[in-house]
Structure formats: C-alpha cells, structure tokens
Copies of this chain bind each other. A is one copy, B any other.
Amino acid sequence: MASEHEAMWRELGLDLAAHDQLLQVLGDGYGQIFLSQQERPEGMEYFNFVMSEVHGLRIKELVDGKAEGKKVIGSFCVFVPEEIVVAADATLVGLCTGADFATELVDQVLPRNTCALIKSAFGFKLGKVCPYMESADMIVGENTCDGKKKSYETLGTLVPNLYVMDLPQVKSSEGRALLAAEYERFKQAVEELTGKEITAERLAHGIQVVNAKREALHRLYKLRAADPAPISGLDALLINQVSFYDDPVRFTQSVHKICDELEARIAAGQGVAPQGTPRLLFSGCPMAVPNWKLPWVVESSGAVVVGEESCVGERGTRNLTEPQGQDLASMMDAIVERYWKIDCAVFTPNPDRQEHVKQMAADYKAQGVIHYGLQFCQPYQMEALPLEKNLEAGGLPVLRVDTDYGMEDVEQLKTRVEAFLEMLA
C-alpha cells in the first residue's frame, strides 16, 4: 500500500513502522496465496483491489465520511444487526483479527488458553495496527463465548467506546425477549451516537441494503454447486471476508458482476479445477482476513472448497430479514427473528447447525467436511465431536482440524488433508 495514506494512519494513532511491516506481510501472503491461483475469474480484480486498499482507500472513505458526520461502528460478530447501523446512515465494519500480532503484549492481558481470534484482536489493538478499530466511533462487543464475554472487560479498559451487547444462550421465549430488548437498546445507542432517529423509512432502507448484500452472496453460493467449480474456495472466502469491510452497495454490485461471469463459465463448462476434483465443505469457526491457512492447504492439495458453514460464510448470511409489516415494530421484530435463527455454537442445544451442514453438503455436492476449530474455542470444539459422529453416520466423512493462526503446523495439516483426500477417492 502506498505511503499516500501515512498522514491518515498517523492521525489515527497507528504505529507506522509496525503497520508497514504488517502490510508487507499481508501483501506478500496475498500474492503467494491468491494471485498465484489458476483460472481465476476476472471479477476477482475488484476484490484484489479492495484487499490492496483495505487499510488505505477504504479507511480514507470512512475517515472522509466521519468528517461529514457519518459514524463508524466496529464489531466482532454477526449478531450485530447491520440493518440498524445502515438505517442510521452509519457504517458497520469488522474489526481486525486473523493474524498473530504483538503477542508479547497480548500475553500480559489475556490467558494463554485464549483462542487465536480474541488474542489477535487484542494484538491489533495493543500493537496499534488496526485502522478500523482506531477509526470506529463505537466498538460493539457481544456476550457470545466465555472468551469474548470476559475479554471485553479488559478491552473496555483499552478503548474509550466499547458497547457490550448481551446475548441469550438458549432459544427459549426468555432468550428471544432478551435479544429483542438488546436490539432495542442497540437501536437507541446507535440513534444517540449518530444523532439520527431510526424511522420506519430509514429502517426499511437498512433492511433492503443488507438483504441485497445477502442475496448477492446467496447467488454466489449456489453457483459453487457446479462441477467443475467456477470459483475457488479461497476466492469465495475472500468475498465473504470483504463483505465485512466494503461499502455494502458497491460490494453487492461487485458480487453480482462476478456471478454473471461465473454463470457464463458454468455454461461453458469452465472451472478453477477439472471436473471431478474432490469437493470439500468447511464447517466451524470463522476465518477472518488474513487467516487463509486452511483453505490454502486444502486447495493446494488438489481439492476445491465449495462452501463455508461459518460466520464468515453461510452461518452469517443465510437468512434474510423479512418484515410482516412496514411499521417500525414489525421491522424490529423481523430483525430479531432473522438473527434469532443464527445457529451459533454458543446456543444450547443447537441442532439446526447439524442440519445446515448436511444441507450444504448435499446442495454443493461435497464429498467430505473439514471441521475447522480454533484452538481453545470451546463452543465449536465441543460441537465438533457430536457433529462428526452425526455426519459420518450419514456417510459424510469428516476431518476435524484444531489449529490457530501460526504457520508451524502447515506441513502437518497438508499431510492430514492429503490423507483425508485419499480416503475420499
């Protein structure tokens, strides 16, 4: 990334030297993993550009918007309702995680047995290298897992603007009432932050914008059912990842554009790998930018990933917000109903997730599932064992991987993935 943004980064309080190093590593990794792929769709050019400017032009957009009163809200979780944020003419962005950073500082404030995602988020903060966090007017934490819930108590001492959203653990009537109360409280907090009243008209607009983004992604997901696969799992994951950072309307257009191209490819029988290439589904923990390790290992081992049952994937986007009426209460209720369906492993029990994985495997013709668990992520690691049993009983082989953001286990992962693929053959 160009140094034209240096003044902006300095203004945001970034550690310029550390940030330069980070961008260098990211750029190198991106080149090695993404740009080296064969038969990439041309539409990926847009996403290459977004990624090359994810700490540059996109931050400038946010900063310019802030100068005009457009607020930025940062989040770590798909339970934060983007509809409400967009309704207040604010921007919701995902906060940085996905890579180890400033680990020695992180070890001073978090236990070692903390999952890589949380440690990474703290590392980006303590190392002063996340322009999203530094430009956010409000950071939203949410009581999902123990690790996030308890670490927000410490994050609150490191940032001036942390808002914590409570979440239920059981899908009971009391649980739903809690979610509804919390979304109402969040709506008020966003109104206060932005100084904009969220009217029915504004909320209808927010719902329309966010649903359109989801529908574009649904179109993309369905095209991945084709054999040969018209797009790699790496690129599809990247598009999912970019959805957390990009302007939603521009993103939606760009996804539709690449989908047009993929449809033409499918019609022409073209793909990123030969027909008959082993097809795998990911299920489990989210993979945030730049956590591309496992799909890279899988796709450089001769398989193609055809779906992600993940927060950065279909768990986060599968459902639309569908109001029964156009008044504010109906729309808020539809938002609650939409997020209530998310089959996150923090809920107990969580049978929908098992059905969703099976459905995705059938829809995308996956021959096997890789369960991706982040080390120390108890909810997903706990669900992995019964899920594996259930899927294998239905004839769907599962490879259970527990890993972190380090690169030390790449060779070991490659060996395990290759053995899994041989077993599928």
Residues of A at the B interface (CB closer than 8 Å) are: 108-111, 113-114, 143, 145-147, 149-154, 157, 164, 166-170, 172, 174-175, 177-178, 181-182, 345-346, 348-350, 373, 375-376, 378-379, 381-386, 402
Contacts and interface: CB of A to CB of B under 8 A. Distances in A.
B111 A386 contact: no
Contacts of A143: 169-170, 348
A170 B164 CA distance: 10
Contact of A154 (B113, B145, B147, B385): B385
21 contacts: A108-B385, A109-B385, A110-B382, A111-B384, A113-B375, A143-B169, A143-B170, A143-B348, A145-B146, A146-B382, A147-B382, A149-B169, A150-B382, A153-B382, A166-B169, A166-B174, A174-B177, A174-B178, A174-B182, A175-B178, A376-B378
Contacts of A152: 348
Contacts of A175: 166, 178
Nearest to A348: B149
A108 B383 CA distance: 13
Contacts of A375: 113
Contacts of A150: 345, 348, 378-379, 382-383
A133 B146 CA distance: 27
Given A143-B170, A174-B166, A382 B111 contact: yes
A353 to B, nearest CB: 11
A166 B347 CA distance: 11
Nearest to A382: B150
| Chain copies in the assembled complex | 2
A113 B113 contact: yes
Contact of A164 (B154, B348, B383): B348
Nearest to A166: B170
Given A174-B178, A381-B113, A382-B111, A346 B154 contact: no
A379 B349 contact: no
Contacts of A110: 382, 385
A150 to B, nearest CB: 4
A9 B383 CA distance: 33
Contacts of A109: 385
A321 B150 CA distance: 28
Given A164-B348, A349-B153, A378 B147 contact: yes
A178 B168 CA distance: 10
A114 B377 CA distance: 10
Given A145-B146, A151-B382, 9 more contacts: A113-B113, A143-B348, A146-B379, A146-B382, A150-B379, A166-B169, A168-B178, A169-B169, A177-B177
Interface centre among A108, A147, A174, A386 (most CB of B within 10 A): A174
B113 A376 contact: yes
Interface centre among A169, A172, A178 (most CB of B within 10 A): A169
A381 B153 contact: no
Contacts of A164: 348
B154 A386 contact: yes
Nearest to A145: B146
A391 to B, nearest CB: 16
A349 B166 CA distance: 11
A254 to B, nearest CB: 37
A161 B172 CA distance: 20
A146 B385 contact: no
Contacts of A181: 174
Interface centre among A108, A146, A402 (most CB of B within 10 A): A146
A150 B350 CA distance: 9
A178 B171 CA distance: 12
